[in-house]
Amino acid sequence: MKSELLEKQAALEQEHWWFVARRRILDRVVAGLDLPSGARILEAGCGTGGNLPMLARHGEVFAFDVSETARHHAAASGCAQVVLGELPRQIPFPEVGFDLIVLLDVLEHVENDGAVLRALKSRLKPGGRLLITVPALPSLWSYHDEQHHHFRRYRKAELTTRVLEGGYELTTVSYFNTLLFPLVRVVRFVRRLAGEAPSDDLDLPRTWVNSLLTKVFAAERHLVGNISLPIGVSLLAVARV
């Protein structure tokens, strides 16, 4: 991701509805994994570090990213050891076995996603978990995906196949950001139809809109991980070794 987009993300990820609500959902999912006391958690491709304080509530956190700009912001959280790394060939902390590895909207940025999953498997302890989120549905492809250097958006069957081929036991796979899916679909369709200027979707809405969207999206924390939602803007998978 370009440095200017990373700077923009770092400035708003503590307030923007998408980041805030997604963290609340992921916090609930991680809490439900019954990790051991003192669990060691790796965030692969941590970006600017918005997830690190949430993950630190569940164990000792390690993190890496290829971007110097991202690492600078992530390290400032003080919640994790943050170092240089790159998927799939440069995964740091070789001496550490992890109870949980999280790959949060990262897999779509890597051309060889299968190689990433295989490489991360070798870093998990027996019984360790992998938590993945990715953007869903190729039909939702937009300028946002291009700006963020995505190679793909995933269908549920495609993500399932990748995880199983990586040698994991898949325990959960579900769409999420389901309640707002109709709105997102309509907005993207209208933008295309109207020929509006491209947007990176990293603008903070008005306060009341941001609050409403946060509440609607975050309400899915009571569902994700408990039932499989049929459609959504994103996909979530949990697997174990």
* 65 and 85 Cβ atoms separated by less than 8 Å: yes
**Beta-carbon count within 10 A of 73 CB:** 22
* CA-based end-to-end distance of the chain: 30
pLDDT digits (tens, 9 = 90+) for 193-231: 766 556 656 789 999 999 999 999 999 999 999 999 999
Which region among 50-59, 78-87, 201-210, 226-235 has the lowest average model confidence (pLDDT)? Answer: 201-210
CB-CB contact of 88 with 110 (8 Å): yes
Look at strands 234-240 and 169-176 and give their pairing. Answer: antiparallel
pLDDT reported for residue 201: 66
Q: What six digits make up the tokens of 186? A: 């309509």
Could you give the CA distance from residue 7 to residue 211 in angstroms, rounded to a whole number? 23
**CATH number, position 113:** 3.40.50.150
List the Cα angle 155/156/157 in 5-degree steps.
Answer: 95
List, for residues 150-164, the tens digit of each pLDDT value.
999 999 999 999 999
Domains in the chain: how many in total? 1
The overall average pLDDT reported for the chain is 94
Boundaries of domain holding 86: 3-240
**Burial code of 192-216, b = ≥16 C-beta within 10 A, e = fewer?**
eeeeeeeebbbeeeeeeebeebbee
